[in-house]
Amino acid sequence: MADTTHPTTSSGPRDAEAGAITRFLRATEIDTRLLGMVGALLIIWIGFQVLTGGLFLTPRNLWNLSVQTTEIAVMATGMVMIIVTRNIDLSVGSILGISGMIMGVVQARVLPQYLGFDSSMTWILALCCGLLVGLAIGFFQGMIIAFLEVPSFIVTLGGLLVWRGATWFVTSGQTVAPMDTNFRIMGGGADGSIGATWSWIVGVIACVFIVIGIINSRRQRKRFGFPRRPLWAEYFLSALGCALVLGAILVFNNYYWPIAIARRYAEAKNIVWPDEGLDIPYGIAVPVLIAIFVGIVMTFIATRLRFGRYVFAIGGNPEAAELAGIKTRWVTVRIFALMGLLAAIAAAISTARLNAATNSQGDTYELYTIAAAVIGGTSLAGGTGTIAGAMLGALVMQSLQSGMVLVGLDTPLQSVVVGAVLVVAVWLDTVYRKRAK
């Protein structure tokens, strides 16, 4: 097919500029919706940087922002699959709550009676129990939705109430603390970060995979006769990806342990405390690595596995998917079971970060998770959505919340802003779909 040409009879400086931008986006194949979301994120960051007097874009706040985003980001990857199939899950916050409470009770009250308080198996068994609870709840709700044909809105709305109440009954509303030392690594902090050296190693490995991925994609396109991007576009995307990764690591490595923690570390390691103090970088936080790993796995499932293709086929046209031989009911059960498992992973991060399991843990998280998926480009009409977009949407949501806290905005006003952003995101999705027709 010949390339589309643009007429030059009515072109002016503005038209030429628009044509250059269009050609650039077409050559690099950058998703315009994703690009718009990045632009919105930059506007939010710059705005809060001004409003907070330079506090927002500091290494400390950006590091904390990355950790705080992980829980919603992990669950948003599963919510994409749910919404793509024209369903909804309002129970993810409550599943997080009861999974976290089970993990807390198992490691703080049950296992110490049998394994002692210093067993290396405590955190593993507690984590497995929580993950199994989340998986079982998701599977149970999926069975009701798929085989009893109860709308997902009703089933998960009931689950929101049931599992929140069950969380309270596990300990009669008591907070369970503290958590196992090894378990707390999943929550970040000084012990839950990998330090400067390993962060740079991870960054270099990530850059290598980015370049290999782009090269492999080009080879596959050539093999099957698909059009390839210009070489300059391949170089640009490789450089951009590596720059973003290494830039993020540079920021993380410029956030240092508090003096008290660094001093205790020096005493424990018999390190002489220098007069100018000891700067120990946090590096990448473990929960951030967990979220990135989940994002990669979910992207692979959504784009490379038959299950992912079935999910999008059901979202595009459920009747046609059924006639094509796809077992739509079992696919529905699996996506809700997967959503329950992801909520339990988020529960592990949340419980480890708080060093406690509380009755209110995960409260309102279902709203933020749905908002992150929708803001990330997942269409409520079904059939459209990306994992990367949902994770970026989670970062947008957390940036708004973190910025409003730094500005000193009251909690009710924060809810107003989040609600307004969600409505605008759905409206923009509606406009986008109408123009795409």
Mean pLDDT score, 261-286:
87
Confidence check: pLDDT of 10 > 50: no
- pLDDT value at 319 more than 80: yes
**Residue of higher predicted confidence among 434 and 336:** 336
Using DSSP's 3-state secondary structure scheme, residue 256 falls into strand
**DSSP single-letter state for residue 90:** S
How far apart are alpha carbons 433 and 437 in whole angstroms? 6
Contact 331, 87 (CB under 8 A): no
Mean residue pLDDT of the chain comes to 90
**Rounded average pLDDT over 340-363:** 95
**pLDDT for position 416:** 87
- Per-residue DSSP letter, 172: T
Of 369, 311, 318, nearest to 335 by C-alpha is 311
* pLDDT winner (highest mean) among 23-37, 108-122, 254-268, 302-316: 302-316
Alpha-carbon distances, residue 236 vs 36, 40, 222, 244, 408 (angstroms): 19, 22, 19, 12, 40
| Between residues 437 and 88, the one the model is more confident about | 88
384: left (phi over 0), alpha (psi -120 to 50) or beta: beta
Task: Say if residue 412 is preceded by a cis peptide, omega within 30 of 0.
Answer: no
**Tell me, what's the pLDDT at 410?**
86
- Of 29-43, 64-78, 370-384, 417-431, least confident by mean pLDDT is 417-431
The mean pLDDT value for 340-362 works out to 95
CA nearest 384: which of 314, 301, 295, 329? 314
Among 198-202, 274-278, 322-326, 401-405, the range of highest mean pLDDT: 198-202
If 0-12 CB within 10 Å is exposed, 13-18 middle and 19+ buried, where does residue 157 land?
middle
Q: Which two tokens stand for residue 98?
A: 């009861």
Which residue has better confidence, 244 or 24? 244
The CATH fold of domain 55-192+285-437? ABC transporter involved in vitamin B12 uptake, BtuC (1.10.3470)
Residue with tokens 């009954």: 169
Place of tokens 């990530």: 206
Instruction: With H, G, I as helix, E, B as strand and everything else as coil, classify residue 89.
Output: coil
**pTM recorded for the entire structure:** 0.92
Q: Where are the domains of the chain?
A: 55-192+285-437, 194-284
Q: Is pLDDT of 9 > 50?
A: no
How does residue 377 score in pLDDT terms, banded at 50, 70 and 90? confident
Q: What is the pLDDT of residue 2?
A: 40
pLDDT attached to residue 437: 61
In the structure, what pLDDT confidence band is assigned to residue 5 with cuts at 50, 70 and 90?
A: very low
The predicted structure's pLDDT at residue 4 = 41
Residue 382 is predicted with a pLDDT of 85
Whether 395 and 70 have beta carbons less than 8 Å apart is answered as no
Quick one: how far is CA 266 from the chain centroid?
35
In sequence order, which residues have a C-beta less than 8 Å from that of residue 40 and are 6 or more positions away? 396
Average pLDDT estimate for 363-367: 90
User: What pLDDT shows up at residue 23?
Assistant: 85
Q: Tell me if 214 sits within 8 A of 238, measured CB to CB.
A: yes
pLDDT in tens, 63-85: 999 999 999 999 999 999 999 99
Which pLDDT does position 60 carry in this prediction? 94
* Residues in CB range of 161: below 8 A, 6 or more apart: 94
Of 111, 11, 55, 76, the C-alpha closest to 394 is: 76
The first and second tokens of residue 396, run together, are 């947008």
Look at residue 12 in the predicted model and tell me its pLDDT: 52
